[in-house]
Amino acid sequence: MNNKLMFVNCQKCGEDFVREECQHSIQERSIKGTWVIEEVLKAIEKDYQIIETYEIWEYDTIQLSKDQEGLFSGMMNKFLQIKQQASGWPKHCLTDEEKNRYIDAFLDREDIKLEFSKIIENPCLRSLAKLMLNSFWGKFAQKENQNKTSIVRDCGEFFDMLTNPSIHVNTVLPVNEETLLITWEFREEAYDVSSTVNVVLASYVTALARLKLYSFLEKVEERAVYVDTDSCIYISRKGLDDISTGDFIGDMTDELNGGFISEFVSGGPKNYAYKYTTLSGEEQIVCKVKGISLNYKASQVVNFEKIKDMVLKKSDPVSVLSRQLRRTREHAVVTVEFPKVYKITSMKRKFYEDHTSVPFGFKKIKY
């Protein structure tokens, strides 16, 4: 919706970013989309009603046990092992006995054998293993009609490309008097289907991940102040359950190692800052903004106080100079400096004056 992944209560309110109370009819409120069956079942559990069904894709499913090799078991287990070992020992594992107990528990739960000597904290190796795991499923949803590059030395081949109705030539770069570097792509109706793309598998991976995150949100409800793909920041209150943490796949981990956030502000998705106190009583500040490298110079412009000021007082956007490596048309790698504009990007929900938010189209129950 609006080229964004949005979760709304009313189709029309979401499309038009309606900030007022929803006045649309049931037909206008009805949400049209494509979902996997697990999402549909969750919606029915939450009292949503299916008004109309247009098309259903049905597949045979196979449930494998731990002793059976699935299509991707070997690859996934390999990189999960590397990622878990590079994460280091859990903070509760202090003695050799506790460490061996952790290894046995991980084997029993995940069917992956960790090597004692290789469990050493290594952020770089962990990031690499995580990248391999995340990138793999993404191949299933990769754009099939990618740009292609051809080196052409024959005039006939060049003119054939220009007159071929099934392709579109994007750029032509003369390399020398006899060689051209041509980038091109197939037209939408002519490209070949990739054997590695399967939108159903990609949809299932992302849908089940969202449902896993939603299970945590169901627990904290209105105490949640920020969520992302695999994380949740929420208010902990006495007498109410906290999200449990663990050492296994699918468990939440405490990113603050026992510390707590005293102040949090968000300017939109992947755009937030917070103050937190460590176990030793030291106060620290974390600031993260997607697309802006917060080095020392940039941090003087975009920081906790600036984000807080922009959210509470609706201050004007600010400009930050950013340096990036870019490749020129001639394939030279250069460093370029250009301004980036930082602003509040909270467009996916409806915000009230007290800065609480609800989905577009949300209606309070009237008794």
Q: Which of 11-25, 60-74, 120-134, 193-207 has the lowest mean pLDDT?
A: 60-74
Q: Does residue 136 surpass a pLDDT of 80?
A: no
**Taking all residues of the chain, what is their mean pLDDT, rounded to a whole number?**
90
Over the stretch 165-218, which tens digit does the pLDDT of each residue have? 999 999 999 988 899 999 999 998 888 888 888 888 889 988 999 999 999 999
CA dist., res. 361 & res. 25, Å (int): 11
Q: Are 186 and 170 in contact (CB under 8 A)?
A: no
Count other C-beta atoms under 10 Å from residue 308's C-beta. Answer: 18
CA dist., res. 296 & res. 301, Å (int): 9
* Terminal-to-terminal C-alpha distance of the chain: 32
Q: How far is CA 222 from the centre of its chain?
A: 22
Mean pLDDT, residues 149-170: 93
Mean pLDDT, residues 285-293: 91
Instruction: Give which of 255, 226, 253 is closest to 357, Cα–Cα.
Output: 226
Q: Does residue 67 surpass a pLDDT of 80?
A: no
Q: Which of 133-137, 279-283, 286-290 has the lowest mean pLDDT?
A: 133-137
Beta pairing partners, 287 = 273
Angle of CA points 330, 331, 336, to nearest 5°: 95
| pLDDT at residue 367 in the model | 57
Cβ burial 120-156 (10 Å sphere, 16+ → b, else e): eebeebbeebbebbeeebeebbeeeeeeeeeebeeee
Mean pLDDT, residues 240-257: 89
Q: Does residue 137 surpass a pLDDT of 90?
A: no
pTM of the model: 0.85
Q: Which pair of tokens denotes residue 106?
A: 């991980």
| pLDDT at residue 138 in the model | 78
Q: Which residue do the tokens 């030793």 mark?
A: 280
Over the stretch 330-347, which tens digit does the pLDDT of each residue have? 788 999 888 999 998 888
| pLDDT at residue 285 in the model | 95
